[in-house]
Structure 1
Amino acid sequence: MTGRWWLDTLIALAAALLVAWSILLITLAIVRPRGGLLREALRLLPDVLRLVHRLASDPDLPRGVRLRLALLLAYLAFPIDLIPDFIPVLGYADDAIIVTAVLRSVVRHAGLPAVRRHWPGTDDGFLVLCRLTGLPTS
């Protein structure tokens, strides 16, 4: 029994990771953009990445907002996906879903003027970003 503690610990750790990964998968399925918004989010990804970088380097924004953006950039740079590509819909779209979820939080704290000031894309793209994140379009 004394020699099996490491095996029991390893099994418990694997079970905990599986439960955490399952919760993440369910959360991503719930917060994913509905309808054609996911396709639009994927198309906007280059502009959104530039927006995230610009917002993260803006010293006028609260530190918590910049920290979230820095963590998002680190996640996007990480070569291993949390959701494997063989999982339908979520596999290929996990980055877009996570970016959208983080931006929903960040843009509500940063405010519409800051986001608009840093937006590198077109006006139509900004309207799509507003729809994705729940920002007012006016």
Structure 2
Amino acid sequence: MSHWLVGLVIAIAMMAITWGALMLLARHLPEGTAKELARFLPACLTTMRRLRRHPAVPRRARIAVGFAGLWVLSPIDLIPEFLPVIGPLDDVVVVALALRYAARTVPRDVLLEAWPGDPRLMERLLG
């Protein structure tokens, strides 16, 4: 039993160290596409929170955006988060699909107003 517990503690410590190192490296990324991609999921969560409360967003779009937000926050993923680069890929795909679905019924200026990042990234996402 104690060997199992030691292994679990080591695994949790390694994951925490890896996350810490990634966060430190992300702070030192040069301005541009790489830094915007590192900010993408947090910006998406902010956008979803703002869209859920906006009166111009219809119920179906709110449900889709809420589902995508829960998907991102959920610990259950199709691709485990601890895998570098491809870990958050399923989250990005779900968020992109939800925002594109919402863009069909939500005015474009509302979506751009809710997006905290570079508006060009949202324009590119929406097509």
TM-score (norm 1): 0.57
- 1:51 and 1:40 map into 2 onto residues whose CA distance is 15
Give the equivalent residue in structure 1 for 2:76.
80
Give the equivalent residue in structure 2 for 1:111.
107
2:45 paired with 1:52 = no
RMSD of aligned residue pairs (Cα, Å): 2.5
2:126 paired with 1:130 = no
Q: By how many angstroms is 1:71 displaced?
A: 1.1
- 1:92 and 1:44 map into 2 onto residues whose CA distance is 10
Amino acid at match of 1:55: L
Count the aligned residue pairs: 95
Q: By how many angstroms is 1:45 displaced?
A: 2.0
- 1:133 and 1:59 map into 2 onto residues whose CA distance is 21
Residues 50-101 of structure 1, C-alpha deviations (whole Å, 9 max, x = no match) = 0111001113211111111111112122111122358785434221121112
Within a 5 Å distance, the mapping from 1:59-98 to structure 2 comes to 59-85=55-81, 90-98=86-94
TM-score (norm 2): 0.61
- Percent identity, aligned pairs only, is 35
Q: Pick the structure with greater CA Rg.
A: 1
- 1:97 and 1:38 map into 2 onto residues whose CA distance is 17
Q: Structure 2: any 5+ residue segments left out of the alignment? A: 1-32
Residues 18-65 of structure 1, C-alpha deviations (whole Å, 9 max, x = no match) = xxxxxxxxxxxxxxxxxxx89854432222210111001113211111
- 2:105 and 2:112 map into 1 onto residues whose CA distance is 13
Given that 1:38 and 1:96 are in contact with CA atoms closer than 8 Å, whether structure 2 keeps it comes out as: no
SS in 1 for 2:75: coil
Q: Structure 1: any 5+ residue segments left out of the alignment? A: 1-36
- CA separation of 1:81/1:38 partners in 2, compared to 1, >3 Å: closer, same or farther? farther
- 1:74 and 1:132 map into 2 onto residues whose CA distance is 20
- 1:41 and 1:108 map into 2 onto residues whose CA distance is 24
Moved more, 85-94 or 56-65: 85-94
